[in-house]
Chains A and B, each alone.
Chain A
C-alpha cells in the first residue's frame, strides 16, 4: 500500500507517496536523489548507508521509509552549509580520513551523531560510535584521528 509521509530531509519539508515496503535508503536515493547515501552490504552490516533520523544514526537499508513519517532525516548532502564543509567533512578531508570514500558519508553521519551528544569524545567513545561502520581502506586510524580533529576544531 502507498501512504503519504511527511519528512524533513536536510531541513526541507517533503510530502511523498511511499510504498509501505519501501526502505529509507531507496526513498533517499531514488526519490530524493541523495546518492551520497551509499549502498554497501544492503543488509545492515556495514554502515555505509547511515543517516540521521531525528538526530540518531541509523542504517537506512534496514529502516522502512513509511515508519519515519514525521521525522527529520539528515544525510551527507545536508552537512555543508553555504558552500562550507562541516567540521567533520573538513577534518576527514584534511586528515586523510577518506581513501576510496565509499564508507565516508556513513562514517561522517555516525560521527556527527556522536559529536552532537558528546562534543569532546575520547578515542573509546569514537570507536564505540563508529562500531557499526566498516571501512575497507583506511585501517580506521585516520578516521578516528579525523573525528578527534573535528571535535577539537568545533567551537
Chain B
C-alpha cells in the first residue's frame, strides 16, 4: 500500500546530546515531539524533510519539578501532565488554563510544551491542502511570490497561535536551549521575532530543552476566543499575572497570542493604584491592548474583531483578577 507521507529516516536519540547530533546529520532534519502540529503540516505537504528526529525517548526532557528556585518544566513534558501537575495548579493558574485550552484531550496526551512554543504560524492561505494552495499560486511563506493577506507587503503575516507562550511569559519564563555550541538561556520573548515565515530565533540544530520560572505569588489567568468551544486554535488569547503591591496597588503583566506572528509580552500598564477609578483604568487597559496588537486577515474572522476581542478579554480578565 502507499503511505500518506513521503519517505524519511526516523532517528530516536536517547539524550539531548544525541538529539543535537541527529539534527546535524541532514540539513532538512526536523524535530518531532508530540507531532500534533508537525504531522498535520507534513500531511499538507508543508514540510519537506529527509530525517525526522523523534524526541520521545529523551527522558531528561520530561522532568517537571517545583522547588525553592521555582518551576522547571522539561520541554518534553506533555500538556496533559502540565495541566495535572499540583505545583502548576497551585501557583500558576494561567499556565494550567492555557495548557487545558490547547486542542483536544487526545492531542494533549502527547503534545509537548516545547512543541507548543515552537508551533508553526498559521494562516488561512497556508493551512490548506497542497492542491488548494497550488490553485492559489502558493504564497510568500511557502514557494509563492506574494502574500494574499497583505499583497503590497514583503513579509508573511501568519499568526502565532500557541496558547502556552503568553501564560509562561507573564511569569517571566526563561528557556534553556541546547545546540552544537553548547547550552544557552534566554528570556522567552527573545525566542520569537515578528515574521510569519521565520518566527523563531533558534539557530540551526538547536533544541529547547527546558523552561524555568521563578516562584510567584501572582494571581493569574488565561482566556481565549475561538470559533468552536473545543479543538480550536485561538483567534486571540491573553494571559495576565496580577501582583499586589503596597498597600493595595495592583500591577499587571499581560501577554497575548493569536494576534501577531509571535506572542507579545506587553509594556505596561501602570499599576492600578488605590484611588484610581476602576472603570477608567480598565478602559485604558483595553485601549493599551488594542494599540499593541496587529491582527491581520489570516483567519475567517475579521482582523478588527480580533483586535477588539483580545482587548476586551484582557480588560475582563484583569478585572476578574482584582475582584475575584
Contact = CB atoms under 8 A, between A and B. Distances in A.
Given A64-B39, A67-B56, A128-B105, A26 B9 contact: no
Given A62-B39, A131-B230, A132-B104, A57 B109 contact: yes
Contact of A23 (B5, B6, B7, B230): B5
Contact of A50 (B5, B40, B52, B106): B106
B110 interface: yes
B144 to A, nearest CB: 21
Given A110-B106, A129-B105, A62 B36 contact: yes
Contacts of A134: 231
B231 A21 contact: no
A4 to B, nearest CB: 13
Contacts of A43: 40, 43-44
B7 A19 contact: yes
B10 interface: yes
A153 B293 CA distance: 52
Interface residues of B, number: 27
Contacts of B40: 43-44, 62
A128 to B, nearest CB: 7
Interface string A50-85: 100000111100111011000000000000000000
Contact of B105 (A30, A66, A131): A131
B54 A67 contact: yes
Contact of A133 (B10, B52, B103, B104): B104
B8 interface: yes
A31 to B, nearest CB: 8
A15 interface: no
A136 to B, nearest CB: 13
B107 interface: yes
A21 B3 contact: yes
B73 to A, nearest CB: 20
A97 interface: no
Between A21, A26, A47, the greatest number of chain B beta carbons within 10 A of the residue's beta carbon is seen for A21
B69 interface: no
Contacts of B9: 1, 20
A25 B44 CA distance: 17
A132 B107 contact: yes
A1 B10 CA distance: 8
Given A20-B9, A57-B109, A133-B104, A26 B4 contact: yes
B105 A23 contact: no
Interface string B196-230: 00000000000000000000000000000000001
Interface in B80-111: 103-107, 109-110
Between B4, B9, B52, the greatest number of chain A beta carbons within 10 A of the residue's beta carbon is seen for B4
Given A30-B1, A44-B103, A63-B110, 5 more contacts: A1-B7, A20-B10, A21-B7, A26-B1, A132-B106
Interface of A: 1, 19-23, 26, 30-31, 42-45, 47, 50, 56-59, 62-64, 66-67, 110, 128-129, 131-134
14 contacts: A19-B3, A21-B8, A23-B3, A44-B40, A44-B107, A45-B231, A47-B231, A58-B106, A64-B35, A66-B10, A110-B105, A110-B106, A131-B104, A132-B105
